[in-house]
Structure 1
């Protein structure tokens, strides 16, 4: 992935725009992912000391590691036979330093809440409720 990561402020600006674009279209999904960045690509990988008794010895680094946060709109290309608009894929990413995690996640949660404010409540099928009642009645009956 040869793309540069955004700064945290740029990431939040673009994430807000992504939520707004998705809201205007009225459909689609946004995928948010986060993972531990094992090492900075500009430096050499860390070499933790192996401990014989610990099978997860490589998950205990000496220094806290940064986190990679990604967001994308899950669009790649228009599929045959769909009536959805041809929307280009938008992918965002940023790296959060360990010292900035608390402040970042406070802003991240607020941005997600704002982006989800316009969602509609999911329609439930009415047929499922009837099946539960039938099972309940059959199990509760006694033979005379």
Structure 2
């Protein structure tokens, strides 16, 4: 059963909560995705299938701008090899109309930046320092004569 899409305000509230929860736990992943919504789910008509002859990319030229589906999930995908759905997984989604895109993505960027502000810079000092220098010290395993 499909869940209804959130309003923009609900989406941003829950996304910021998800970002702070992941940050406070010290680890975790958040997956953000966006894609073109091929047809409006609120209208009764489905997607248009009017093919234009001799145009292999006919679906890239819609008669009117299409909305965008924006999704956010946490990294808790599945458990085990049987791919059992995890009931604790957080799934957020909202539909952005073409005339709301600029305002939405301005606020989206602010929420994402605020959620990433507390991240620590990656510590690269833990790498092996002798990696790639095999045989450089003392030659090829031989002894000095």
Q: TM-score range by the shorter chain?
A: 0.7 to 0.9
CA shift, 1:126, in A, is 3.8
Deviation at 1:41, TM superposition (A): 2.6
Question: Where do residues 19-34 of structure 1 align in structure 2 (5 Å cutoff)?
Answer: 19-34=19-34
Contact 1:36-1:67 at 8 Å conserved across structures: yes
Matched positions, count: 128
Question: Aligned partners of 1:87 and 1:44: how far apart in 2?
Answer: 33
Match of 1:62 in 2: 63
Q: Distance in 1 between matches of 2:34 and 2:55?
A: 25
Normalized per residue, which structure has more strand?
2
Q: CA deviation at 1:116?
A: 0.8
CA distance in structure 2 between the aligned counterparts of 1:70 and 1:129, rounded to whole angstroms? 43
The aligned runs of 1:101-140 (5 Å cut-off) are: 101-124=101-124, 125-127=126-128, 131=132
With normalisation by structure 2, the TM-score equals 0.76
Displaced runs of 4 or more, over 6 A: none
Unaligned runs of 5+ in 1: 80-85, 135-144
Cα-Cα RMSD? 2.6
Aligned to 2:18: 18
Distance 1:129 1:106 in 2: 45
Tell me if structure 2 keeps the 8 A contact 1:72–1:92: yes
- CA distance 1:20–1:32, shift in 2 (3 Å): same
TM-score (norm 1): 0.77
> 1:128, CA displacement in angstroms?
6.9
2:90 maps to what in 1?
90
Using the TM superposition, name which of 122-131 and 98-107 deviates more: 122-131
Structure 2 unaligned segments of length 5 or more: list them.
81-85, 136-145
